[in-house]
Structure 1
Amino acid sequence: MKNKQVHVAVVQSAPQLFDKQSAMDKIVSMTREAAGQGAQLVVFPEVFLPGYPRGLSFGARVGSRTTEGRKDFERYWESAIEVPGAETDIFGELAKELGVYLVIGVVERDQEYSKGTLYNTMLYVGPEGGLLGKHRKLVPTGSERLLWGQGDGSTLTVIDTPFGRIGGLICWENYMPLARTAMYAQGIDLYIAPTADARDTWQSTIRHIACEGRCFVISCNQYATKASYPDDLSCYADIEDDEEILSRGGSAIVGPLGEYVVKPLYDQEGIMMSTLDLSQIAQSRFDFDAVGHYSRPDVFQLVVNDKKQEIVRRATQM
């Protein structure tokens, strides 16, 4: 029997960009604060560690890259983490000490091959201290493709918990109807949607997903200002004429009928708390279940390749 309630905390904040320790310190302190208010599930934004480099070009134009931009990228690469690694061990210890589930957006550095590729990754950490799973963003959006590689179907992760199944997609992956369907088909109850999109249209997206998936949607964004950017970056000039607030936030929680449980928070840092009534999920699926009684598998079918994609296969593996 699943628990009928869960206490959720959504963190809207940002670290000092490219500063791994700043992000780690905030994760520890804000998780402690949320747990102190009774949170059982604590959610951090997209690539919170080491921050979303909004507005930066890394010296790239179509057909050329600058030496200075490559150095800025190296700095971003150095601030990424390996999964598993020392930082995920710290997350595990923190989650175990406080008895919480943690969902954290990180920049993950590949450790299987060249170690040259970064991924936009969402980590799931459990209250027993273990890394329960991860999801790598399938398609980085626009210029993000210069920074991050593409994930594969092996990380379309959904985790069983005492209060239901948690999982999610990152930012504009949530505009991919087939990716959403792949999540619904795994019985997702708490759909986590970290983002870097602070526009009003994003609110329409998360409300639609909640209503379509008949699940709670927990959306989490950074509140970031120019003060969080190191001014010695070679590409700092890219944002000099921008507004002081670079990301206004907009984190929110939506119920399974598409109504706000917690309305969007804008223009400030904060921890948004709510107790979710999970009985609403079954009630909402009474008249619509996208992968159940409202599906037509005789007409539409989705094939998901959930195998890990190997660049190199040794003869001994064949």
Structure 2
Amino acid sequence: MKHRHVKVAVVQSAPVLFDKQSAMDKIADMSREAAGQGARLIVFPEVFLPGYPRGLSFGARVGSRTADGRRSWERYWQSSIDIPGHETELWGELAKELGVYLVIGVVERDTEYSKGTLYNSMVYIGPDGLLLGKHRKLVPTGSERLLWGQGDGSTLTVIDTPFGTIGGLICWENYMPLARTAMYAQGIDIYIAPTADARDTWQSTIRHIACEGRCYVISSNQFATKASYPADLDGGDEIKGDDFILSRGGSAIIGPLGDYIVEPLYNQEGILVATLDLSQVTQSRFDFDVVGHYSRPDIFQLVVNHKKQDIVRTKD
């Protein structure tokens, strides 16, 4: 029998960009603060480690790249992490100490092949200290495609917990109807949507997902200012004309009928905390179950390839 209530926390903050230790310190401090308020599930924003490089071009234009841009990308690579690795082990110790589930947005280094590709990922850590899984963003958005590779279906991850099934997609993946359907079909109860989108339209998106999937939606965004950028950053001139607040946030918690449980937080750092009643998920599916009685498999079918896509395969 699953526990029907769980307290969750959504972190809205930003580390110093390209500073791994800054992110690690914030994750530890804010996790302890959230756990102190009784949270058992704590969610951090998209690429919280080592930060979202909003406004930076990395010296790239169509047909050319600069030496300074390559050095900036190497700096980003150096401040990213391996999964599993030293950082995930530290988070395991933290989660075990606090008795919580941690979901953290990170930039992940490829450790299997060339070690020259980064991924926009989120990791799941359990209260037993174990790395439970990860998800790699399927399609980086716009100029993000220069920074991050594409994930595959092997990381459409959901995690079974004592209070329900958790999982999610990152930022604009949530505009991919088939990706959402693949998540719903795995019985998701708490849908996690870390993002870098602070526009009003994002609120429409997460409310729609909650109503469509009949699930709780937890959306976490960074509150980032120019002060969170290192002073010695190559390409720092590119954001000189931008407002001081680079990302205003907008983290929120939505109920399974599309109503706010906690309304969006803007223009400040903070932690949103709410107690979720998972019986509301069951009740909400009485009249609409998108992959159940409201599906029409005689008309529509989705084929999901969950296999890991390897560049090299060895034949027997």
Aligned residues: 316
Gap regions ≥5 residues in structure 1: none
Paired residue for 2:300? 300
| Corresponding residue number in structure 2 for 1:235 | 235
- Give me the whole-angstrom Cα distance separating, in 2, the residues matched to 1:253 and 1:36: 19
Aligned to 2:278: 278
1:207-286 alignment runs, 5 A limit = 207-286=207-286
Aligned to 1:57: 57
- TM-superposed CA distance for 1:232, in Å, is 1.4
Deviations 1:117-147 (A, max 9, x none): 0000010000000000000000000000000
Gaps of 5+ in 2: none
The answer for the alignment partner of 1:288 in structure 2 is: 288
CA distance in 2 between counterparts of 1:288 and 1:231 reads 52
Which SS does the other structure have where 2:107 is aligned?
A: strand
- 1:96 and 2:78 equivalent? no
- Relative to the length of structure 1, the TM-score reads 0.99
3-state SS, counterpart of residue 194 of structure 2: strand
Provide the residue aligned with 1:184 in structure 2. Answer: 184
Q: For the residues of structure 2 that align with 1:307 and 1:56, how far apart are their CA atoms?
A: 34
The structural deviation recorded for 1:231 is 2.2
Residue by residue over 1:191-214, the C-alpha shift from the partner in whole angstroms, topping out at 9 and shown as x without a partner, is 000000000000000000000000
Report the 3-state secondary structure (helix = DSSP H, G, I; strand = E; otherwise coil) of the residue aligned with 2:102: strand
Distance in structure 2 (CA, Å) of the matches to 1:244 and 1:279? 43
Aligned AA (2:249): G
* Residue 92 of structure 2 is aligned to residue 114 of structure 1: no
Determine the structure 2 residue equivalent to 1:13: 13
- CA deviations over 1:178-229 (Å, ceiling 9, x no partner): 0000000000000000000000000000000000000000000000000000
Shift of 1:233: 1.6
Cα deviations by residue, 1:140-179 (Å, 9 ceiling, x for unpaired): 0000000000000000000000000000000000000000
Separation (CA, whole Å) in 2 of partners of 1:234 and 1:129: 37
For normalisation by structure 2, the TM-score amounts to 0.99
**Which amino acid letter does the alignment assign opposite residue 159 of structure 1?**
I
**2:216 counterpart of 1:206:** no
- Match status 1:175 vs 2:175: yes
In 1, distance between residues paired with 2:232 and 2:99? 40
Q: Secondary structure at the match of 2:193?
A: strand
Deviation at 1:74, TM superposition (A): 0.5
Q: Deviations 1:104-124 (Å, cap 9, x if unpaired)?
A: 000000000010000000100
* Letter aligned with residue 68 of structure 2: E
Percent of residue pairs bearing the same amino acid type: 81
Q: Describe the SS at the equivalent of 2:124.
A: strand
Structure 1, residues 284-308: CA drift from partner, whole Å, max 9, x if none?
0000000000000000000000000
Shift of 1:234: 1.7
Residues 27-38 of structure 1 mapped to structure 2, 5 A cutoff: 27-38=27-38
Partner of 1:125: 125
**How many Å apart are 1:314 and its aligned residue?**
2.3
Counterpart mapping for 1:69-84 below 5 A: 69-84=69-84
Counterpart Cα distance in 1 of 2:4 and 2:67: 55
Counterpart-to-counterpart distance in 1, 2:30 and 2:232: 28
Runs of 4+ off more than 2 Å: none
1:5-50 residue CA offsets vs partner (Å, 9 max, x unmatched): 0000000000000000000000000000100110000000000000
Q: Which residue of 2 aligns with 1:25?
A: 25
**What code does the residue aligned with 2:210 have?**
A
Q: What do you get for the CA RMSD once the two structures are aligned?
A: 0.5
Partner of 2:155: 155
Give how far 1:313 is off: 1.2
Output one character per residue of 1:235-261: Cα deviation in whole Å (capped at 9) or x when no partner. 101101100000000000000000000
CA distance in 2, matches of 1:95, 1:240: 39
